[in-house]
Structures are given as structure tokens and as C-alpha cells.
Amino acid sequence: MHVVERFAAWAEDFRKLPIPPEVLHHAKRAVIDWYAALLPGAVVAPATLLEAALKEELDHGKARLALGRSATVRAAALINGSAAHTVEVDDIFRDAIYHPGAPTIAAALALAQAGGASGEQFLRAVIVGYEISTRIGAAMGRAHYKYWHNTGTIGVFGACAAAAELLGLERKRFAHALATVTTFAAGLQQSFRMDSMSKPLHAGRAAEAGVTAALAAREGVTGSFDVIEGEAGFGRAMGDNPDWIELFESLGKDFHICRMTFKNHTCCGHTFAAIDGALALQAKMGVAANDIERVSVGTYKAALDVAGYEQPRTPAEARFSLKYVVATALTHGSVRLAAFEPARMEDRITRSLMEKISVSVDRGLDAVFPRQRAARVSITAGGRSEEHLQPTRIGDPDAPLSDAQLEAKYLELAVPVIGEGKAKALLQKLWQLESEKTLAP
């Protein structure tokens, strides 16, 4: 069987099985984290601008935007998917260099609301989307990430698989949906190496593309089953012709959704090891930002390629400036949403400290990327220097956020948008999603 057929066959078989309790729990964690990213992203651009641009598709339809406005399924998937990737706090599957939640859950929720699916059906669809897309992303590896933004390109598979599951597509039509969505895969890294709104749109467009392909397949639209592994297919055109057989060895046994990274900082995930290492070393040395004479950061190459802004002037640039986020962490103790407000971005101590930070590629740490995201940080202060190796990021599977920490993150981000009462009520509902008989508004 072709790759898309094998994934479709697994999804159809998995539909008949009970969801393992641990997998169900981690799926709910992923949805809670998605809402933590969605809500603050829903009230800023580009989501607010998309609402204006797509006004003809709003105020009717059975799906809902983050704050309750009705929308067509595809508009909800696009806008919510974009919103969930805007403030850079959405989840990561480390091995695939990919944010699965933004596109996958946006697509699944839009269809679940429109079709009146149960909470358990919705969670099952999320799991299917994560398991299929993360494997494709992991197989494509670093060769794909050189030019492509995986959340756009790999995200179409997560969204499509989740949508196909919610529509109950039998394996042939499920495979056609995956084959069709492969040709929709897009999103260039160059689009966020200058200040722009394109990056979150990649996630939204992936969600919309996935819904479109699944709906089309339901009606009989066909795709080329060899589009992933063929001579002119996805693997060769956009990667280094990966080994697809390896994809299926752990499918249905090792659930990737159980080892997600949930962000502990509101910026580019490639900077996290450096932030965590800098804060740990600062605490060990007991020095204030004003006392620091020099900071050196060695990390993997992708972190410097993606987060290389030297003098960021906008929030988008600052989120992708390793020097800025490390300096603001050392100055203020954290990198939260406030770090990207105008007054904080012009903070004199932070800007001064940025000039004392040097960054470089550490060949040893680069060699283990993307399986490991590490940084080596040294600080010189008061005439003494110390070094710290941060082997992983807080929030990674080997240093995970607890349920309580995940709840705290959600409340920190949700309460300013919808208020404490609504935020806590929604959180309680999300922890009990499997008991919801329908997600129809």
C-alpha cells in the first residue's frame, strides 16, 4: 500500500478501539494548551484583520471563532488556526520541528461544532491528526526544514486527518483526502525572516486546507495515492527522499501526542534552551542584569537561522530574536506577553544587555538537533565566569509541564481575554471533554 493508504487503514482500525486513558489525558492537555494560545491570538492581528477580510463568511454557519462569533467551517478553521499560532505559545512536536495543535485542533473543532460531534469523537480526531502528521514531519526531518515552515506544510496532514476522522471517511476516501491535501502543503521560512504576519497564516491556511481536502474526498474528489513517495512527490520535491517505512513501526503503539512540548515562554521555541540556561546560571551566580559583563550562547544552527534578529523593532521580530529574549529574561525574570509591549521592548537595561550577548553554533549541540534542543550558556559578571549546559527545554517531554503548570499557563493567557469566571469554566469543561455529548454551539 502507498503511504496515504497505510495511514488511512490505521485510522479506520483505530476508530474501532477504545482510546487508552493516558492518550486521552494527553489529548485534553493538547486542547487546553491550544486554547491558551488561541485566546490571546484571537484579539490581535492577523486574526482581527482576517475577520474583516472574510466578513461574508462570518455571522452565519455552525462553527465558531474563539470569542463565539459564528462562521463557516473553513473560515473558522482559517481564523482560529492563525490565531492559535500568533503569540508563539502553541505546542511543539520536537522530532518534527512542528506545531501540530494550531492547524489540527482548529480544523477538528470547526468540523466538530458544525457536525455536532461528541467530545470523545473530537478528541479521537485530534489524536489521529497528531499521530499521522507528526510522523510525516519527523520523516521529512532537517532537509525539509531548511526552506519550509513545517507548521504550514506538515500541518495540512494533521488538519486533514482530523477532519477525515470526524467525517467518518472510510479508508479509501480517507486516503484520497490525504493525497489531495499533500498538494496543498505550503509555507516558506523566508516569510518570517522579515517582519510580517505570514507565519501564523501558515497554520490557519493548513487548517483550512485540511478541512477542504476532507470535505472534497467525502464527495468523491480523488487524489494520487503515490503523491508522498512518488518520483515527483512530496518526499523528493520538498525533502531528501525519506524512508517512509519507518513511519509505521510505532504507529498505534507509541502515541506522539503523549510527548508534546508545551511552551513555557511566549516566543520562538528555538530560543527556549538559551532562556532556561541563562536563568538557571543567573540564579546560581546570584547576579543582577546590571552586573553582567558578557553572555555567550552556543546552540544549534536552526535557532540562529530562525531567531537571528539583532535589533528587533516589532513584537514579531522580538519573538524571533534570541538576544532580545535572553536579555529580557535576565532583566525581568521571564519572557511572557509583557515582554513584547512597547515600553518593555525599549527597556534600557535590556537593550544594553543585548549588546553584551554573543551567539554561535555549537557543533555538538547542532548534531543532535532536532531530537534534542540544547544550549550552552556562559555568563561573566564581577570578574568571574561560569558556564551552564541546558540539555533540554522546560516543557519538553523530558522536562514536562505538570497539569497544574499547564493550567497556570492557560489561566495567565485566557483570563485577560475572557475573564476569570469564563476561563475557569472553560478549563473545567476541557478536562471533561470526553463526557460532552455534543460540541455544537
Provide DSSP, 58-90.
EEEEEEE-TTS-EE-HHHHHHHHHHHTTTSS--
Closest C-alpha to 42, from 82, 92, 101: 82
**Pair 238, 186: CB distance under 8 Å:** no
CB count within 10 Å of CB 310 equals 12
d(CA 96, CA 99) in angstroms, rounded, equals 9
**Pair 190, 146: CB distance under 8 Å:** no
Nearest 5 degrees, angle CA 166-CA 167-CA 171?
100
Closest C-alpha to 315, from 39, 45, 78, 50: 45
Which CATH number does 3-263+402-435 carry? Answer: 1.10.4100.10
The architecture of the domain spanning 269-390 is: 2-Layer Sandwich (3.30)
Give the pLDDT of residue 298: 98
Using the structure block, give the residue that is written with the C-alpha cell 516543557: 395
Give the pLDDT of residue 43: 98
d(CA 415, CA 389) in angstroms, rounded, equals 35
d(CA 35, CA 414) in angstroms, rounded, equals 8
Q: How far is CA 250 from CA 4, 59, 107, 400, in A?
A: 16, 43, 25, 22
Give the pLDDT of residue 246: 86
pLDDT in tens, 216-241: 999 999 999 999 999 999 999 999 99
**Pair 73, 110: CB distance under 8 Å:** yes
Q: Are 3-263+402-435 and 269-390 equal in CATH topology?
A: no
The residue ranges of every structural domain in the chain are 3-263+402-435, 269-390
d(CA 422, CA 441) in angstroms, rounded, equals 15
Listed as ranges, residues in the chain with pLDDT below 70 are none
- Strand pairing report for 357-361 and 292-299: parallel
Give the pLDDT of residue 194: 87
pLDDT in tens, 306-325: 999 999 999 999 999 999 99
**Pair 18, 238: CB distance under 8 Å:** no
- Structure-block grid coordinates of residue 42: 484571537
CB count within 10 Å of CB 424 equals 16
